Amino acid sequence: MAKKDLNDDILSGGSISDSEKPDKSAKKAARQEKKAKKTAEKRAKLEKEIKDLRDKRDSETDEKSRAALTKKIDSAKNKLDALNGKKSGIASNNLRVIKSVVAVVVVIALLVAYVATGTVRKGFIHSTLQWTTGITAATIEDENGDKINIPVSTFNYYFANAYNNLMSTQQTYEQYGLSLEDNNLDVDFDIPLSDQTTTNEDGEVVTWLEYLYEQVLDGIKSTYMYYNEAVKANGGEEPEITEDQQSELEDTLSQYEDSANNYGYTLSAYLVQAMGKGVTESVFRREATISYIAQNYQSEMSETITDEEYTDADLETYRDSNIDDFQAVSIRIFEAGSEDDAIAFKDALNSDGSNFTDLCVQYSDDTAFNTSYYAQDEASTKLYATRSILQNAGYAIATATEGEDDSTTYPGLDWLFSSDRQAGDIYQYSTSVVYVLQPAEIPEASSVNVRHILIAPETDDEDSTDMTSATEEQWAAALETAEGIVDEYNSSGRTEDNFASLATENTTDTGSASNGGLYENVIPGQMVDAFESWALDPDRSAGDVGIVQTQYGYHIMYFVGDTGTPIWKVNAESAIANEDANSAAEELDSAYTIKLNWFGRFYIEKDTDIDS
């Protein structure tokens, strides 16, 4: 086989012969890649939908139509946010999770794609000038003047990832017809990167090669910064990575070795082919380990700040200084398909709100999911919702309006959070209809602990967690299963331990299966609507059991009890911890610098060798 043919086969997956059974890690990698690809496709599709809706809204002159389009845009953005931030299809992953200023680069999972999908960068000169890989490519320096020299081999390791990530992202956007130019992805991989320009995050015009170098240097600095701090915190000794991380690393390398052997390559030669000169097995193993250590330290640093205890005085001071962020309302709310429907809904709504749920069913889209979902009071109930919660949910009532002086106002939210509001007030704004249960106040209600068992409908799409497209029969089967589990619980002693055991055995929520379906410190804005409304119901008592439906399936709920900590305190603790963590990350980031080495830059990867 010619070298070019062999190289192309390696980069496109180099499948093992049919007689060889794929090992466990290969199957796992394939599943991970399939799931990642579907997520990327869904993300690109939503981004295209948002762009198309914005273009349509910009050309629309009718204010009602513009409002309806804005609502659809907000809804699509909410779905995009959920795609990026939902945890196991149930809980948002952003509560009490510290966002770092710069992300640690961990590339194990990404590298699976090199073998599995053929998205690996093409045309690099892989095997020549191997002796140059020990030359310093860049230097990191901390505030004490201590330096870390980054060899060419490490730079190439990161460059391969940055290059392939860019190529993969571009391919996904092209697949959905998104403008590459509008999304800063208009790079041509068939000509040298140094002959093309783009705009970096600072608004400067740079070549695509310089742009990638910036990404690579940022990634290296971030990883080695946290790694270096981890070593210092461990008395100068390198911390060990977890058993799971070590297993993941070994599984990945084992997969690569199988593919390498299939072509008569050593593992190191195979990795050099895939990632560039100098990226041998030892380099790959070393850089992956450093990335894991950096990731672990960053998490520990965040958790330390998150776990810090603040005094009541600290929390009250923060609350009083940011009072608008803590004001919350309890409402019934429905989003109609058009403003005309919203007006008709409001006109038909009883003054006491008693037919709100019936109207939700009447004015919702007639689908198998909506018919049963909106028949629940919980589906249209928002308890203790702040302005930001309503904005993040994409309700039309939370839509911003720009004034002639470029000022931004929120007339719907201003009405809802006005001191004039009273329980029983009814309001229609664009496509939103609202019935006020409790006007704005600082909620003294407590966060809660709940357990649940998720029973998702069985559909043909095994990788999807969104079940709204399931058939009526599939939903009915899921409900029958859920009711059967409730019957089993009722006949088994009705204890929390019994429920936890049933959750571990039956739930399809992988995020809570191992702890008996438990979610602790649940507060508004953290969980999906019906789940959250059931859990936060002020009339709930310890031991209550019920079934609610969400887009993920039927949830068998078990109310453990109140935590005793008011919702506003949980939010204040989280907000202060986030600010402290961001300050710590910024301070650490400013203590380190990285600079490309003048001599080493002649030996790092540059462009595809399209002329070779």
Model confidence over 591-608: pLDDT tens digits?
999 999 998 888 887 764
Rg (CA), the chain: 27
CB 384 within 8 A of CB 443: yes
d(CA 347, CA 447): 36
Tokens for 183? Answer: 């999304």
Give the angle subtended at the CA of 364 by the CAs of 56 and 440, to the nearest 5°.
Answer: 85
Using DSSP's 3-state secondary structure scheme, residue 594 falls into strand
d(CA 209, CA 215): 10
pTM: 0.68
Angle between helices 63-85 and 24-58 in degrees, nearest 10:
160
> Within 10 Å of residue 171's Cβ, how many Cβ atoms?
15
d(CA 50, CA 81): 12
d(CA 4, CA 455): 50
What CA–CA distances, in Å, run from 501 to 453, 516, 542, 544?
Answer: 10, 6, 18, 17
SS3 content of the chain, % helix, strand, coil (to 5): 50, 15, 35
Where are the alpha helices (H) located in 117-207, listed in sequence order?
A: 152-175
**Which residues are registered as beta bridge partners of 409?**
401
Nearest to 29 by CA among 115, 158, 119, 120: 115
pLDDT, residue 41, reads 62
Model confidence over 260-296: pLDDT tens digits?
888 788 888 888 877 878 888 999 999 999 999 998 9
DSSP 184: T
pLDDT, residue 111, reads 46
Report residues of the chain scoring pLDDT below 70: 1-48, 51, 54-55, 57-132, 403-406, 462-464, 607-612
Nearest to 525 by CA among 334, 372, 325: 325
> Within 10 Å of residue 274's Cβ, how many Cβ atoms?
25
Is residue 250 within a helix (H) or strand (E), and if so which, with residue range? Answer: helix 243-262
Tokens for 378? Answer: 């919980």
d(CA 227, CA 235): 13
How many residues are recorded in the chain? 612
Which one-letter amino acid corresponds to residue 386? Answer: T
d(CA 489, CA 518): 16
- Strands (E) located in 523-570: 545-550, 553-566
d(CA 531, CA 516): 17
- Strands (E) located in 277-361: 328-335
- Residue owning tokens 């078990």: 558
pLDDT, residue 308, reads 77
DSSP 527: B
d(CA 579, CA 564): 25
Nearest to 275 by CA among 150, 116, 162: 162
pLDDT, residue 438, reads 97
Phi–psi pair at 288, nearest 5 degrees: -65, -40
Tokens for 85? Answer: 């931030």
